[in-house]
Amino acid sequence: MLISQFLILGAILFCIGVYGVIARKNAVLVLMSIELILNSVNINLLAFALRNGSADGHTFALYIIAVAAAEVGVGLAMVLLIYRNRRSIGLDELSEMRG
């Protein structure tokens, strides 16, 4: 099996995710980009697990999926609260934390 194809797919997804996190202003899209990054990691884990013939990678991937679900839950709750307070989810408008 050509493991490099999986890795390339993972790398592409990772890059798209990083681009989204940095360049997007919509908080929901940033959360989605984080999901992409997590899933690119999943693909890498699965690819290596397939090559090594062990179930460990699958287990880790399942954990990551669970953690990602929790993370999105918390993230969306925060986005919802921000929206309620400011009527906007544009991240560029949120700069109260400036040092």
Partner 1 sequence: MMFAASEVLAPLRGGWFLENAWLAPVVPTIGFALIVLIGKRLPKKGSEIGVLSMLVSLVLASGAAWQWIQRVGAANEEQFVAPVVRTWTWWQAGGMQFTIGQHIDGLTVVVLFVVAFISTLVQIYSLEYLRGDRRYTHFFAALTLFSAGMLAMVIAEDMILFLLGWEIMGLCSFMLIGHWWEDGANSRAALKAFFTVRTGDVGLLVGISMLFFAANDWTTTNLGLSGFSIRGISAWALSGEPNSTVILVAAFALFIAAIGKSGQFPLHTWLPDAMAGPTPVSSLLHSSTMVVAGVFLVARLYPVFFTGLDILGPSSNVIMVIAAITIVIAAALAFVQTDIKRVLAYSTVSQLGYMMLGLGAGAWLPAVFHIFTHAFFKACLFLCAGSISHSASHHSFDMKKDMGGLRKHMPITFASWTVSTLALCGVFPFSGFFSKDEIIDNVGANGYTFFMVVGLGGAFLTAAYMTRATYLTFFGQARGASAGEHDTHDAHDMHGAHDAHSSHDTHDTKHDSPHESGILITAPIAILAVLAIFSGLFNATPFGESWEYMKKWVEPRAVVVVQPSAGGPGAALVLSLPEAESGYGDSPCGKETPVDGICYAPQVNHAKFKWSKALLSLALVFAGIAISWLLSAAFYGRRDPRLVGLTQRNGVARAGYRLLANKYYLDDLYERGVVRAVVGPMAQGAYWFNQKVLDGILHGIARVARVVALVVYRDIDQRVVDGAVNASGELAQSAGTTVQPIQSGRVGHYGALLFATAAVVALVFVILNT
| Binding region for partner 1 (CB under 8 A) | 18, 21-25, 30, 49, 53-55, 57-58, 91-92, 94-99
What residue spans of 24-87 are helical by DSSP H?
Answer: 27-52, 56-86
Closest CB to partner 1 among 2 and 97?
97
The dihedral sign for the CA sequence 41, 39, 90, 24: positive
The dihedral sign for the CA sequence 39, 18, 95, 99: positive
Shortest spacing between CB 87 and partner 1, in angstroms: 18
Closest CB to partner 1 among 87 and 98?
98
Shortest spacing between CB 56 and partner 1, in angstroms: 8
Shortest spacing between CB 91 and partner 1, in angstroms: 5
Closest CB to partner 1 among 85 and 92?
92
Q: Which of 39, 51, 44, 49 is nearest to 2 (CA)?
A: 51
